[in-house]
Structure 1
Amino acid sequence: MKTFAVAVGTALLFTATAGVAEAAPAYTFAKFETYSSTAKAVTYDAKVPAGAKAVVVSVPTISGGTTVLLKVKGLLPNRAYGAHVHVKKCGPLPADAGPHFQNVVDPVQPSVDPAYANPRNEIWLDVHTDGNGFAYTSSTVDWQFTERHAQSVVLHNEHTHTKPGEAGTAGPRLGCVNVSF
């Protein structure tokens, strides 16, 4: 946890002092709960228990990229989860968050072409929880949210696949966190 706090603090410090980035930082701290219009994080499956917590921080980098940090607490222990940034907000149904946010949008949706569904064109935040259900990760891409903005991070049932025809897939959507990227 200390490492995560240092990473967040350092990222925010560089963003605040850079003064050159066009994109704005984003921060969300939320508890997973059943859907309501005011929920910041929604659970769709017991694999993301109600009461589990998530922190998402997004900061533009000095070089024109974006770093997104994800920390989760209270998930199932010793388990893999896929996680990606999605285009829409969380809704009552798992599909409401829409597809993954892609810097260069695949004209064929759902996108399973590795030329588009990859960790350079999307933000992938796969994690593996420890024995206490805690995990954190980060992803840095060389682009920023400027004219188009993502609106959520979705937790999936398994780590992200990379093979043609299944690239970017990670199983059912288990939970969703609203983030104003």
Structure 2
Amino acid sequence: MRTTVVTLTGAVLLTAGLAACATSTAASTPLTAAAVAAPAKSGAQPAALTYDTERVPAGAKLGTFTTVDNGQTTVHLTASGLLPGTQYGSHVHTKPCGAKPADSGPHYQNEKDPVSPSVDPKYANAQNEVWLDFTTDSSGTANASATVGWRFRPGEANAIVLHAMHTSTEPGKAGGAGDRLACLTAKF
């Protein structure tokens, strides 16, 4: 009898959960979170890497998830263990994190700039890329989110990179945010 009750209860909860999902058009990706570590000398890399241990100390934590609703994508970023009261730029990049900062490729763009690196404000802007600039609080913690009017192309957005400063919007410098300090591999 006990097994039957548990199974029935599970079926009722599953049915209620499916009904709740059916009334919502939003979808979410699971949280990707990791503590940053130095790049491995060879082989597989940690999910989160620091390239500048002064600005992003080993052990700092990064996390991200996305929600998609009515054709819009919102990317959420959480960070802790960073320097207090410090500005960082952050963007979604095309490739997974690697041992070298450049391994994560360029910024993901909904409409790809034919010129690389992209510094043209027509392409390098917060509507065509995902910009998650933030300033940490007094404990080195921050949350950022950005909403864009499109969805990621499958397999083309694979990391979030933290940069040394907030993102520039000037022609010839648009999308630039200084050195790559850390990276979190996350498939969007």
Please state whether the residue corresponding to 2:36 is helix, strand or coil: strand
Q: Distance in 2 between matches of 1:179 and 1:50?
A: 19
Is residue 58 of structure 1 aligned with residue 62 of structure 2? no
Q: Hey, what does 1:137 align to over in structure 2?
A: 144
Q: Hey, what does 1:7 align to over in structure 2?
A: none
Q: Hey, what does 1:40 align to over in structure 2?
A: 47
Q: Distance in 2 between matches of 1:80 and 1:87?
A: 23
* 1:148-177 residue CA offsets vs partner (Å, 9 max, x unmatched): 530000000000000000000000000000
Q: Distance in 2 between matches of 1:26 and 1:134?
A: 21
* 143-152 or 118-127, which deviates more: 143-152
Superposition deviation, residue 145 in structure 1: 1.6
Output the aligned Cα RMSD.
Answer: 1.8
Is residue 95–residue 157 contact of structure 2 (8 Å, CA) maintained in 1? yes
Residue 68 to residue 131, structure 1, CA distance change in 2 (3 Å):
same
Q: Normalising by the residue count of structure 1, what TM-score does the alignment of the two structures yield?
A: 0.86
Residue 133 to residue 92, structure 1, CA distance change in 2 (3 Å):
same
Superposition deviation, residue 26 in structure 1: 4.3
Superposition deviation, residue 60 in structure 1: 1.0
Please state whether the residue corresponding to 1:95 is helix, strand or coil: helix
* 41-50 or 144-153, which deviates more: 144-153
Is residue 29 of structure 1 aligned with residue 33 of structure 2? yes
Q: Output the amino acid matched with 2:118.
A: S
> How many pairs align?
165
Q: Hey, what does 1:112 align to over in structure 2?
A: 119
Q: Distance in 2 between matches of 1:105 and 1:148?
A: 15
Runs of 4 or more, structure 1, over 4 Å off, are 15-21
Q: Output the amino acid matched with 1:103.
A: N
Superposition deviation, residue 25 in structure 1: 1.9
Query: Radius of gyration: which is bigger?
Result: 2
Q: Normalising by the residue count of structure 2, what TM-score does the alignment of the two structures yield?
A: 0.83
Structure 2 spans left out of the alignment, 5+ residues: 1-19
Q: Distance in 1 between matches of 2:47 and 2:138?
A: 26
Q: Distance in 2 between matches of 1:20 and 1:137?
A: 23
Residue 16 to residue 42, structure 1, CA distance change in 2 (3 Å):
farther
Residue 55 to residue 168, structure 1, CA distance change in 2 (3 Å):
same
* 29-38 or 123-132, which deviates more: 29-38
Structure 1 spans left out of the alignment, 5+ residues: 1-14
Q: Distance in 2 between matches of 1:166 and 1:145?
A: 24
Q: Hey, what does 1:168 align to over in structure 2?
A: 175
Counterparts of 1:11-30 in structure 2, within 5 Å, are 16-17=21-22, 20=25, 25-30=29-34
Is residue 27–residue 179 contact of structure 1 (8 Å, CA) maintained in 2? no
Q: Output the amino acid matched with 2:61.
A: K
Q: Distance in 2 between matches of 1:17 and 1:86?
A: 32
